[in-house]
Structure 1
Amino acid sequence: MVAIERAFGGMSVRDVPEAVRFWRETIGLQVDDGDIARVHLPGGGTVILYPKADHEPAGFTVLNLVVADVGRAVQELAAAGLQPQRYPGMPQDDDGAMRGRGPDIAWFTDPSGNVFSVLTD
């Protein structure tokens, strides 16, 4: 077996300073600046944000943020100018959240178009 010391995730962005501002100021996470920025996640994980000239958003949710109340999180993100993603055929309520089919969850995009969610655990 490989002796793994730690792990982290990463996602490409079209503009690192823009991504740093978003994750720090809009979402409220601690972010270290740099050519490759590091987002510190609650619980000890990290995600790196790296520039990619021909960036295309991932076709899946790149980060899930666990919250106590999805409805409240959706309202707070709306107050910050974000709107939930709506997916055809998904049973989302007026807030844009899907409830009662596993954890309550709502999806959003960052400035680079990467999808992240807020969900209950």
Structure 2
Amino acid sequence: MFGSTTAFSSFSVDDLDAARAFYGDTLGLQAELEGSGEMRMLFLTLAGGARVMVYPKGDQHSPASFTVLNFQVDDIDAAVDALTDKGVTFERYEGFESDAKGVVRDERGPAAIAWFTDPARNVIAVLQR
């Protein structure tokens, strides 16, 4: 039914301008504000052209209880270092042993993941497979 229909994901934030600065300036994504007033939205364009809609909920926003975006990289240490240099702090979760940088590594192979949050406290991951 939807095999030929364009689809996109979305999530909320409490401050659209802070989200635009974070996703555009800190993460380097194409981050475009569209619309006006209550219909103002932020659209993120990911590599490959996929778009994500970020919408404002103000005081009604609750951070997502799941990872809203996953960025796959070739070198997680370089990505974590670059994000740390931009002021990003990495999360540590109970049950996941992380190194000094906040990276959780799978000792059986090259898989590694690190989590951080956007200004609205939504969880984002950078991972290497």
Q: TM-score, normalised by structure 1?
A: 0.93
Aligned CA distance change for structure 1 residues 99 and 51 (closer, same or farther; 3 Å)? same
Unaligned runs of 5+ in 2: 35-39
* Match of residue 116 from structure 2: 108
What is the alpha-carbon distance in structure 2 between the residues aligned to residue 118 and residue 2 of structure 1? 29
Structure 2 equivalent of residue 68 of structure 1: 74
Q: Does residue 97 in structure 1 map to residue 100 in structure 2? A: no
Over the aligned positions, Cα root-mean-square deviation in angstroms equals 1.4
Q: Which has the higher strand share?
A: 2
Q: Which of the numbers 31, 38, 48 marks the counterpart of 2:43?
A: 38
For structure 1, list consecutive stretches of 5 or more residues without a partner in the other structure: none
- Is it true that 1:18 corresponds to 2:21 in the alignment? no
Q: Percent identity?
A: 42
Aligned length: 121
Separation in 1, partners of 2:104, 2:7? 30
Query: CA distance change for structure 1 residues 118 and 3 in 2, over 3 Å: closer, same or farther?
Result: closer
Could you tell me which of 49, 55, 71 is aligned with 2:54? 49
Show CA shifts across 1:18-43 (max 9, x none): 10111000000001112111000001
- For the residue of structure 2 that corresponds to 1:33, the secondary structure is strand
**Does 1:78 find its partner at 2:109?**
no
Give structure 1 regions of 4+ aligned residues with deviation exceeding 4 angstroms. Answer: none
Tell me which structure has the larger Cα radius of gyration.
Answer: 2
